[in-house]
Amino acid sequence: MEPGIYGNLATGIAVFGAALAVGLIGFRTVEAVGRNPQAQSKILPLALVLGAFAEGLGILAIFVLGK
């Protein structure tokens, strides 16, 4: 069965939200490291995990809402 316009629209919004979240995580990571370079070893792994989590939710939205 085709998802129709509402399924496609919901998928697009969800993927846009995930992309926005990854961009904001990257922006705030660079900003935090710029303010405190010594904290890079603590900030970078957390940012990578959060970015992967946000991207995973976007991919999950494609599979769930795309049906």
Distance spanning both ends of the chain, measured CA to CA: 7
Do residues 29 and 43 lie in contact, with contact meaning Cβ atoms separated by under 8 Å? yes
Helices (H), 1-67: 4-35, 40-65
Domain spans, the chain = 25-67
**pLDDT of res. 2:** 63
CB within 8 Å of 22: residues ≥ 6 apart: 51, 54, 55
Digit-coded pLDDT (tens) for 11-50: 889 999 999 999 999 999 999 999 999 999 999 999 999 9
Per-residue CA distances from 42 to 13, 15, 32 (Å): 32, 28, 11
